[in-house]
Amino acid sequence: MRLSALFYRWPQVVCEALSTPWPSSACLLYRALRRLGVKGVEIRKPEQLETVASLIIPGGESTTMAKLAEYHNLFPALREFVKMGKPVWGTCAGLIFLANKATGQKIGGQELIGGLDCTVHRNFFGSQIRSFEAELAIPELAAKEGGPEVFRGVFIRAPAILDVGPEVKVLADYLVPSNEALDSNSAVEAQEENTGSEKKVIVAVRQRNLLATAFHPELTADTRWHSYFLKMATETGEEASGSIVAVGADLNLDQQPKIDLPIFQ
């Protein structure tokens, strides 16, 4: 199984984040884009990034993804892609890659792309069994894309953003219940200003051409996040339509069932 992205696919082995009963994230992501009249294309080599205008870095096991990206010498091209101001959206592990700083990493750490002025905590919410879904208030999404202000987010071994720089716009946060165990004390220490029984962390942000979400919008039938990202291409001076090509033939989207919440009961 390989992780998929809009205009980019990590050449990846099976990862724990996708070992689930529902269809692969690749199929769900491509379906969401297809509903908006867009088709994705695989990119596996650094030079291929020169031919596309927008990029989605998906979820998965971030440490393994980083090792594979390093093996294929993708980091220099990815950093240049970000520096050029092209739209990039990172979900879950993709958020970790875009962050300038990451805490809670495995021993030895992992390489990051950077560009997003924030500190992210890897696996903030704990292990796979602590995956959950929650309703998030996202006024900007409703203002730009219509629909309700609430979006149902799916968090799978999810990271969280602990702090952001002045140019980063917070799009959504999440109030962590007092009885919810966190992965590391550093996550708690970073929220010292929250003296009550609940702690607030950031789960969606935008900084110019960069969009990042700690949750997985492709696991719902709501495509507003995908539409929001595609419109960023125009806002940042790029045309997403210039990179629309056919989806890889190995993905049979029509045979995949429609997925929507609730996923976790």
Residue of 92, 118, 121, 226 marked catalytic: 92
Buried-exposed string 81-120: b where 16+ CB fall within 10 A, e elsewhere: bbeeebbbbbbbbbbbbbbeebbbbeeeebebbbbbbbbb
Whether 92 is catalytic: yes
Round to whole Å and give the CA distance between 246 and 41. Answer: 6
Residue of 61, 118, 216, 226 marked catalytic: 216
Round to whole Å and give the CA distance between 112 and 198. Answer: 30
- 3-state class (DSSP) for residue 40: coil
Based on the number of CB atoms within 10 Å of its own CB, is 130 exposed (0-12), middle (13-18) or buried (19 or more)? middle
CB 174 within 8 A of CB 203: yes
What is the residue type of 103?
Answer: T
Residue of 42, 61, 133, 218 marked catalytic: 218
Nearest CA to 136 out of 70, 204, 212 is that of 204
Whether 216 is catalytic: yes
Whether 238 is catalytic: no
Q: What is the rounded end-to-end Cα distance, in angstroms, of the chain?
A: 26
CB 212 within 8 A of CB 204: yes
The residues annotated with a catalytic role in the active site are: 92, 216, 218
